[in-house]
Amino acid sequence: MSKDKLVIFDTTLRDGEQSPGASMTKSEKLRVAKLLEKLKVDVIEAGFAIASPGDFEGVKLVADNIVDSRVASLARATEKDIRRAGEAIAGANAGRIHTFIATSPIHMKYKLQMEPEKVLERAIDSVKLARSLCDDVEFSLEDGSRSEFDFACRITEAAIKAGASTINVPDTVGYGEPEEYGDLIRRLIEAVPNSDQAIFSVHCHNDLGLAVANSLAAVQGGARQIECTINGLGERAGNASLEEVVMAVRTRADIYDVETSIDATQIVPASRLVSSITGFPVQPNKAIVGVNAFAHESGIHQDGVLKHRETYEIMRAEDVGWNANRLVLGKHSGRAAVKARFEELGIVFADQEELDAAFVRFKELADKKHEIYDADLQILVSQSRTEDSADAFSLVSLEVSTGSGRAPRASIRLMRGEIESQIESEGDGAVDAIFKAIEQVAKSDTNLELYSVNAVTQGTEAQGEVTVRLEKDGRIVNGTGADTDILLASAKAYIDALNLMQSDSSAHPQREGV
Ligand code: KIV
Ligand code: ZN
């Protein structure tokens, strides 16, 4: 007998982006969306269109360019929000308006300052308006897990009657407990007379570390859509992690009577891309996508795996895309081999010029590093391409001198458009000296919110990937730079962030007062 479909609704670009600092530019959003489409997620929530012009454009760009996944925009239950969401997704092959209003006593009384009857009325009007703009409408009972059951039933029934085809019952504050939450979904489906006309969805936050457990319990209660994010990114402690949900359902197919359409081999590439763009590293012991997730250290385990893999492995690393550390290419590899490997990794170039530029970068890297791994190739192309605009900064050369007993000193040649500057600066450390030197020219008036370095592969020859997060007037950008020399990578990342700040619009929704 065939299993029920479990709809995977990815909200990395909306709830994930609401993590402080995880802001993405619209072109970064599109890159993530393309990979989500390749991952075969059913619905991509691309953003909160009303939050800022940047958010609107981000949702629109994703909606206009994604073909295989449905593209959703979030909207509060207000006319302005819903119309803006409708406008943003108008060009989508398949769109969705996701409207929400809080339904718990504490939210209605203190946040909305509205009587329950008014909330009910607003929900109905909002769903009707959304339906007049889009044939696919999702309605969320914000703080649903703390709502009174009878009220949750009434508003759910009314929303379905008004035209919502998906009803989402979020555990907004991560308070739910699996048995109780699964039971809530089951009782709701049983009690609402028209529940057969909608898909029930869950959206769990991870404040108690229970987001995935709660989501899976809800599936047992009848939920057929899970809202989740890559790497569990999201507000506060994050959302249910897509990779954990998908692999739990697949690995324990004996328990869960549902199946997803996800192409799991794209999970690790998606995790890497999101981590690289947001600057949020993945902890080594993170399930599925952590570097240690499939590493067996204990001799007993290694022995067992060698004799019979299933003794200690419940999933196969390659099934979730862990081929990324395979040794592939070196200095003598030709253009055809490099191009073929890019293709195998699903990396597509817009034109010959872009491929040529990537090949040049590959050769430069191969001169510094003997063994080029898949992860190196991915980083090579995932560097933001921000040097195209006329007044963009680009690095010509960098020299740094440092040693015990003297202040580190950086000497930089920098181009801005056609103008070249040579600057020097001292700093508290080598990186500080580099950033101060760049700032002598840039005078960007930005705040440095994050500086982090991650090794792309293993060993001292590995490329370091640096993330620099800058903030200015509420706008946040994450610049990245990779190089076998961490100081060069730092300079590249700072310059990338400056270029992002002056080009692509991106804003953290919460900072825009939404
Ligand atoms: O956590 C939440 O309740 C949400 C809703 C807007 C779906 O993100
Ligand atoms: Zn949420």
* pLDDT (tens digit per residue) in 175-226: 999 999 999 999 999 999 999 999 999 999 999 999 999 999 999 999 999 9
Looking at the domain assignment, is residue 386 inside a domain? no
Looking at the domain assignment, is residue 487 inside a domain? yes
pLDDT beyond 80 at 37:
yes
Do 316 and 335 share a structural domain?
no
pLDDT given for residue 509 in this prediction? 45
Do 334 and 196 share a structural domain?
no
Do 229 and 175 share a structural domain?
yes
User: Total domain count for the chain?
Assistant: 4
Do 131 and 82 share a structural domain?
yes
Looking at the domain assignment, is residue 387 inside a domain? no
CB half-sphere exposure, 498, CA atoms < 13 A: 24
Looking at the domain assignment, is residue 289 inside a domain? no
pLDDT beyond 80 at 412:
yes
pLDDT band for position 514 (cuts 50, 70, 90): very low
List the alpha helices (DSSP H) in 104-226: 105-106, 116-133, 149-162, 178-191, 211-220
Looking at the domain assignment, is residue 143 inside a domain? yes
pLDDT beyond 70 at 298:
yes
Do 97 and 244 share a structural domain?
yes
List, in order, residues 6 or more apart from 439 with CB less than 8 Å away: none
Q: What is the CATH number of the domain that holds 482?
A: 3.30.160.270
CA 276 to chain CA centroid, Å, is 10
Task: DSSP for 250-306, please give it.
Answer: HHTTTT--EE----GGGHHHHHHHHHHHHT-PPPTT-TTTSTTTT---SHHHHHHHH
Q: Which of 364, 419, 377 is nearest to 396 (CA)?
A: 419
Q: Find the mean pLDDT for residues 279-307.
A: 85
pLDDT given for residue 382 in this prediction? 65
**Which range is least confidently modeled, 99-108, 178-187, 230-239, 291-300?**
291-300
Q: Does 380 or 239 have the greater pLDDT score?
A: 239
Q: Which of 236, 221, 154, 131 is nearest to 182 (CA)?
A: 221
Q: Ligand 1 within 6 A of 172 CB?
A: yes
Residue 3 carries which DSSP code? P
Q: Which of 235, 238, 277 is nearest to 510 (CA)?
A: 235
pLDDT given for residue 291 in this prediction? 85
Which ligand is nearest the CA of 103, by number? 1
Q: Ligand 1 within 6 A of 15 CB?
A: yes
Do 265 and 149 share a structural domain?
yes
pLDDT beyond 70 at 356:
yes
pLDDT given for residue 163 in this prediction? 98
Tell me: the pLDDT tens digits for 438-449?
A: 999 999 999 999
pLDDT band for position 369 (cuts 50, 70, 90): confident
Looking at the domain assignment, is residue 467 inside a domain? yes
Do 332 and 227 share a structural domain?
no
Pocket test for ligand 1, best of 15, 204, 235 (most atoms within 8 A of CB): 15
pLDDT band for position 487 (cuts 50, 70, 90): very high
Q: Quick check: 140 and 168 in contact, CB under 8 A?
A: yes
Do 356 and 241 share a structural domain?
no
- Per the prediction, the chain carries an average pLDDT of 91
Range of the domain at 202: 4-278
Do 220 and 246 share a structural domain?
yes
Mean pLDDT is highest, among 225-229, 271-275, 296-300, 382-386, for 225-229
Q: Find the mean pLDDT for residues 25-51.
A: 95
Nearest atom in ligand 1 to the alpha carbon of residue 14 is: 8
Q: What angle do CA 455, 459, 463 make, to 5 degrees?
A: 40
Pocket test for ligand 1, best of 203, 207, 225 (most atoms within 8 A of CB): 203
Output the furthest CA–CA distance in the chain (Å, rounded). 77
List, in order, residues 6 or more apart from 473 with CB less than 8 Å away: none
Do 164 and 32 share a structural domain?
yes
Looking at the domain assignment, is residue 283 inside a domain? no
Mean pLDDT is highest, among 171-175, 371-375, 455-459, for 171-175
Do 370 and 463 share a structural domain?
no
Do 349 and 205 share a structural domain?
no
pLDDT beyond 80 at 378:
no
Q: Which two tokens stand for residue 425?
A: 């600066």
Which ligand is nearest the CA of 144, by number? 1
Looking at the domain assignment, is residue 370 inside a domain? yes
Q: Ligand 1 within 6 A of 16 CB?
A: no
pLDDT beyond 70 at 383:
no
